[in-house]
Structure 1
């Protein structure tokens, strides 16, 4: 048996999920060359979200996520995502052609992110919380990576930036295919395979419902912040819109969330996953409330607030997955996580689109649009964080 499979899984997650925001890393060029608006960049992001939702619904409701080896699903979907992403770079010449290709990338990612979580649980169920913290940390870096590639590439064309993400996803597929599945979630010989609708059994478990409702509130804030990060940077004194500094700062603000995930995984061993999630939700809610006032602050203070927000906003995410995986029956872990993701990402579509449309008129006050998410998440998670639950 592989001695330490977690590093392989989390690095593959980093490389595979670089596909997610590859268009956002090239947003300034797309706005200029295609003559589109910031709201349409939000629409491009939502095409990925919608594809991911449809994909996770298919995997979750059909039971496919638990019918076939997770490593094979991950590898096939990473390769498909790489191909669709490359087609976007090479052939898209406007928003009409780009939207279906970004949808296809999102659909492919439905076999990467939730199946990566299942791989973790299958290999190391006894330390799923800290391991999932590493996984989501790498998802966060993967999300930030297109901004970093764009910043490092300098004068690269936007197509080159996007194609780098495709190459990384191919490498991710090879890594996971070589690793294979862990021994802990393999179906017993002769056991029936999950069919359509079996996943709904998870929703009869109160602990699963509490974790899922916390996750849904968290998702209202998370991807909207990641999408709006370049705009929020340009609102204040940090950088002007279109400057290379926007890409570098966006990479820092999104990418620092990986440190939040790693720190939260360590902390969860002491106070429990539910309480770590609650602390992160409270911190990000505070940032939502403060940011509109920060526009008048010195640039250094505004940057500190944005970095702290980026740190806190995703630190809770792995703990929702760990709590949900712990609560639901083992035979439907993959399907339950996929369905939870589907609903959560459907929520992100609303907040992303609203934020992208309203930011021009609301300015920094758009942060208040995100505030109900962490507040409602704290309320939904209350049955779990009022007592210590360690995963």
Structure 2
């Protein structure tokens, strides 16, 4: 059986340069305030090149380079190296011409962590404006009748390909496949919404209002006596006040929601500027008892932030110590979200993750109530996490 579905892709045509102009206004790109605002706006955002729609994550905005800057081009086809400017390369390879020779360059990395520079003028922003998002359901929705027509068009094209003289026909014959002209109709079965059991709250029926229900009833009611853990917080000196405020709010969040875990003490761990969070942590946490939780406040994003994150998670795998990384780079796009009024939502979500990691459950469901055929059977549910790389 060949299963086909239709999709609709939406791509913003707003370039990075468009927003750079908007941020800079009448000011020069050399203005430190302009550079800071532009960097903060774009760092960690994803862009798509206009010439081949490859996606990249912006690691930095380099104001020391522009399209006229020269780099060494390794031409793998001719096995030669050539000095060429970014704008000449774009014109030669992609047949596009940069109109602003003074725009800064986007810095990102390739699969082998090699530095890649992109011209902002040729990079579309993948973020969709809020006003456009509201229109997406109207644009992307496909009525059943229209969807059927698309299927029939595809079937017609595939049927034409079955002509013995057509090249695709040979491929179909290789797999002993034949395209049926009529669509197959199947009877759909809709399962009942499962009941969710929440300590001191449930059971409730999951539905469209589940998110709102959880937000309005966040206070879980565990009856067991809370278990005392130790909390460690790693931070660089410039992030001390943010980390201190964040940790205090996090601890209070656990108390507010009657968390079965409480922190008897909090140990601050100062990390030298640009130093290793793991090495600093080892000076305070010499031996794990399985009842420690570490929050690492990362002051850097981009390649350095990724390196720090990976080393911390490797430490978790080696020691079993539970860790949580918080990106608080002032230049990061999510800085306000993680340190402003939305920080409480993040702290609440982390508290639930901590509860689950300690072996407790925030909620559970009896699947056989929704699917009677599973009653009395042992069911293995596999969840697959997906990592979205740069490309």
Q: TM-score range by the shorter chain?
A: under 0.3
Tell me the TM-score normalized by structure 1: 0.22
Tell me the TM-score normalized by structure 2: 0.22
Q: Which has the higher contact order (CA 8 A, sep 6+)?
A: 1
Higher Cα Rg, which structure: 2
Answer 1 or 2: which has greater strand percent.
2
